[in-house]
Amino acid sequence: MRYFPLFIDTHAAQCLIVGAGEVAARKLELILKSEAKVTVVAPQMCSTVAGYQDHPSVTLIQRPFQAQDLENKTLVFVATSDSELNASIHDLAVQRDILVNVVDNTPLCQFITPSIIDRSPIVIALSSGGVAPVLLRYLRQKLESLIPSNIARLGAFSEKFREKVKSSLAGVTARRYFWEDVLDGDIAELVEKGQEEKADKKFLEALQGAQTEQKVDGQVYLVGAGPGDPDLLTFRALRLMQKADVVIYDRLVSPAILELVRRDAEKIYVGKAKSNHSLPQQDINALMVKEARKGNRVVRLKGGDPFIFGRGGEEIQELIKANIDFQVVPGITAASGASTYAGIPLTHRDHAQSVTFATGHLKDGTVNLNWPALAHANQTIVFYMGLTGLPVICEKLIEHGLSDSTPIALIQEATRDGQRVVTGTLSSINDNPQVATLEPPTLIIVGTVVSLHKELDWFSQTQ
Are 387 and 410 contacting, i.e. CB atoms less than 8 angstroms apart? yes
Helix (H) or strand (E) holding 83: helix 83-95
Task: From the candidates 229, 250, 305, 325, give the one annotated as an active-site residue.
Answer: 250
The reply to whether omega before 372 is within 30° of 0 (cis) is no
- Is 243 tagged catalytic? no
Which of 47-56's residues contact partners 24+ apart within 8 Å by CB, and which partners?
A: 48/22, 49/20, 49/21, 49/24, 49/25, 50/20, 52/28
Q: What is residue 257's three-state secondary structure?
A: helix
Are 29 and 5 contacting, i.e. CB atoms less than 8 angstroms apart? no
DSSP conformation class of 451: G
Residues 6+ apart with CB under 8 A from 4: none
Q: Using CA atoms, how far apart are residues 368 and 359, in angstroms rounded to an integer?
A: 10
- Is 104 tagged catalytic? no
Task: From the candidates 198, 215, 267, 272, give the one annotated as an active-site residue.
Answer: 272
Could you report how far apart the first and last alpha carbons of the chain are, in Å? 43
- CA distances from residue 316 to 149, 222, 329, 346, 381 in whole angstroms, order as listed: 27, 8, 12, 29, 28
Catalytic center residues: 250, 272
